[in-house]
Chain A
Amino acid sequence: MQTNNEVELVNQILLKDQQAYTEFIHRYQAVVFNVAWRMLGIREDAEDAAQDTFLRAFRFIKNFDRTRPIVPWLKQIAVNVCFDRLKRIPEEQPLEEDTLPYPDPAPGPETQASQRLRRERIHLEILKLPPRYRAVIELRHFQELRYHEIARVLNRPLSDIKSDLFRARKLLAAALQELNTGKSV
């Protein structure tokens, strides 16, 4: 349920109040940027995607159900914006070393790796997944949507969503296993 403040902000945006636009962006830009960051992994791309997310949100804000919370709606738009961007990149194109957000660390025992390095490594593994796997991981694990909700957001059959999610997890779990045993990923 939205707070009155949020409803008022949306109402002001519908009245084309410039201050309301600015306040709306300031309030939610970090949340939207983080969705894009997790899915794209490149700061400039994530910032561009966040901008596109707000532009799309403003275009469709008149359709927004004001009894619902706004953050999940914005996050779902962000996933679709990122997914559309990723679809434009050929799927077989491997993730290039210089486009990775962190340097691919040298293999070594997990016990020596810092916690930060380990988290960066997990993010790297997410970024190596095909776009549709990334989208379902984002929606299930970071936005905590149920299967049928993910299917609705991505406009895809429920069976595809489950299959993609389970395969994505299998790939990530395998990478995690290799990380734990100190093998190169």
Chain B
Amino acid sequence: MNHITEELLNEYLDQALDQAAAGSIDRHLQSCRVCTARMQGLQRLFEELAALPEEPLTRDLAPGILARLRPQPAFSFGKLLLLGQAGTALTILVLLAHNIPDNLNLGGFWHNAPGKLPDIQTFLLQAWLLASRIQLPSVEFPTLPAPWLQTGLDSSSISLILASTAALWVVGNLLLLNKTPPASGNTRHEKSS
């Protein structure tokens, strides 16, 4: 005699079989003690599971949930600070970018581009001189020799160093911004049943 497969027995108890298949199982069970015992074993398990008691909830979950529901500000002070730094670094990077091709030997393309920015040394010198002229009510900036002029580096090298620093600054800030943990739960949309 062929016994009922595990799958059929489970589907029979779950009432997942059509009428004909269920009828066939009924007939087999009437004459097979082995399959009847297997079915009774599963039935006992079902009953034991159904008898598991409810566990009492010992605290109110509402305050915790409501606290997490309150809208969080889109940008905290820390985030704004990071964004400001990233923006500054990006601006420096853009200002310096036109000097980098000197080292990368990209030919005349860059220098022939319209609206080319001034040489980096000229730019920094002008900025330094401008800053030196700023006068506050009781403080005057001393006129000092620009320190980078004494390093012996040419403008492309200075640009490369500053651009690399700025690039690292941008990347670092973006990494810090991304580190902010997302809201709990996954993003799978819960469809209504």
- Shortest Cβ distance from residue A5 to the other chain B in the assembled complex, whole angstroms: 18
Interface 1/0 per residue, A138-157 and B, CB below 8 Å: 00111000110100010100
Of all chain B residues, which has the CB nearest A29? B61
Q: Are A64's CB and B185's CB within 8 A?
A: no
- Shortest Cβ distance from residue B13 to the other chain A in the assembled complex, whole angstroms: 9
Q: Are B192's CB and A63's CB within 8 A?
A: yes
Q: Per a CB cutoff under 8 Å, which of B51, B61, B193 touches A25?
A: B61
Is the C-beta of B191 less than 8 angstroms from some C-beta in chain A?
Answer: yes
- Shortest Cβ distance from residue A17 to the other chain B in the assembled complex, whole angstroms: 12
Q: Are A63's CB and B193's CB within 8 A?
A: no
Q: Per a CB cutoff under 8 Å, which of A58, A80, A122, A166 touches B10?
A: A166
Is the C-beta of A123 less than 8 angstroms from some C-beta in chain B?
Answer: yes
SS class, residues of chain B in contact with chain A: loop
Of all chain A residues, which has the CB nearest B6? A166
Q: Once the chains are docked, how many angstroms separate the CA of A176 from the CA of B57?
A: 27
Q: Are A68's CB and B52's CB within 8 A?
A: no
- Contact residues in B for A18 (Cβ distance below 8 Å): 66
Is the C-beta of B48 less than 8 angstroms from some C-beta in chain A?
Answer: yes
Q: Are B64's CB and A51's CB within 8 A?
A: yes
**Interface size (B, Cβ < 8 Å)?**
41
Is the C-beta of B41 less than 8 angstroms from some C-beta in chain A?
Answer: yes
Residues in chain A within 8 A of chain B (CB atoms): 18, 21-22, 25-26, 29-30, 33-34, 37-38, 43, 46-47, 50-52, 54-60, 63-65, 68, 72-73, 76-77, 80-81, 84, 118-119, 122-123, 137, 140-142, 146-147, 149, 153, 155, 162, 165-166, 169-170, 172-173, 176-177
Residues in chain B within 8 A of chain A (CB atoms): 6-7, 10-11, 14, 16, 41-42, 44-46, 48-62, 64-66, 68-69, 183-186, 188-193
29 examples of A-B residue contacts, CB within 8 angstroms: A21-B69, A25-B61, A29-B57, A29-B61, A30-B56, A34-B55, A37-B55, A46-B55, A51-B68, A52-B184, A52-B185, A54-B65, A55-B69, A56-B190, A59-B185, A63-B190, A68-B192, A80-B190, A84-B185, A84-B186, A122-B49, A123-B52, A137-B49, A140-B14, A149-B193, A162-B11, A169-B45, A172-B45, A177-B41
